A and B are shown apart, each in its own frame.
Chain A
């Protein structure tokens, strides 16, 4: 699946999607001033503490297979379930990119169908805002 990767945009556009990563400083792992877009097939959901993860199988712009690892909130704030986001679903995710060069991580992701139609709970946000 083709990646629409590395469309880095200014910080203000993503301010509303601040991550809920109380377990660690998200800024250490992700660049919260940028955002990245990826498209891929859901291969796995890891709904765990301290943070949940969604994995997408995708390809880079050279056609090489890659895996996007998308960090979400912990169990309490994670709204996605395997029923809401079945394995095999093709999705587009937009969020903050990971910092390490060559890595394919993302956080504070908003999910949609490939055509941009919002997907799942909270307009694709996928996480509950804490009480």
Chain B
């Protein structure tokens, strides 16, 4: 009886080993077949590089009604350079109670821009100044003439750590088809971080999603902002840049604190 069991076990072991060898052989063949096939070429990276003009000829200058507008007259120029239709839909942010309260007490002299604090998205990409886009394999650089700001968009999969909070946050991105898609988080609180014309702040919860793509000679961008601290829901604008004049090189902005603050004396403050 014991010998019979032993024989059976031996046969079973032999069968298992044989099976494993067959599987390995088939698998190995499959691997060889896969290896034999040519590797698929990576999708082409869209060419967004260059110096782009964000000035008045590209889109209306930033104001209390641009790029965020509750209403637009039919035919008025939209941030993307196209005329507004008859059924324009407001993109003005829907503020929650906290946002409304902040907006209500906002006083223009409080704005940190009068002390040369740089603007941030969503305002920064829309400021009427040139921006240079540089594409490297592991990152995309956005160099803004306005306020001498540099935003680095990491493409290598890294994620922000607890130490990566900053005025311009932390940006990660990827290419999707013909577009660069990026997301920026880890902003610090900014009293005019959403919009400095309407007194809307932004918080550490601000998340900015941007999509950049070419349409012929134009560079288009959709900028979407969410910030549950102040906004009831995300909102966005789509804008365009035109190529900067050939050979244009970014100039140093070099914000001067005296020049920045002088006009504050002419504003009648809401509070004494």
Q: Point out residues on A near B: beta carbons under 8 Å.
A: 20, 22-25, 28-30, 46, 48-53, 69, 71, 75-76, 98-101, 103, 105, 107, 129-131
Which residues on the A side are within 8 Å of B6 (C-beta)?
A: none
Q: In the assembled complex, how far is the CB of residue A97 from the closest CB belonging to chain B, in whole angstroms?
A: 9
Query: Of the 9-residue stretches B26-34, B183-191, B264-272, which lies at the interface with chain A?
Result: B264-272
Q: Is the CB of B262 within 8 A of A25?
A: no
Q: Please classify the interface of chain B as helix (H, G, I), strand (E, B), loop, or mixed, using the class held by over half of its residues.
A: loop
Which residues on the B side are within 8 Å of A98 (C-beta)?
A: 263, 265-266
Q: In the assembled complex, how far is the CB of residue B143 from the closest CB belonging to chain A, in whole angstroms?
A: 16
Query: Of the 9-residue stretches B7-15, B41-49, B216-224, B251-259, which lies at the interface with chain A?
Result: B251-259
Q: Is the CB of A22 within 8 A of B128?
A: yes
Which residues on the A side are within 8 Å of B268 (C-beta)?
A: 99-101
Which residues on the A side are within 8 Å of B197 (C-beta)?
A: 25
Q: Is the CB of A105 within 8 A of B256?
A: no
Which residues on the A side are within 8 Å of B111 (C-beta)?
A: 24
- The yes or no answer to B210 lying at the interface (CB within 8 A) is no
Q: Which residue of B lies closest to A18 (CB)?
A: B61
Which residues on the A side are within 8 Å of B62 (C-beta)?
A: 22
Q: Is the CB of B258 within 8 A of A51?
A: no
When chains A and B are docked, how far (Å) is the Cα of A25 from the Cα of B262? 14
Which residues on the B side are within 8 Å of A100 (C-beta)?
A: 265-268
Q: Is the CB of A50 within 8 A of B53?
A: no
Which residues on the A side are within 8 Å of B264 (C-beta)?
A: 29
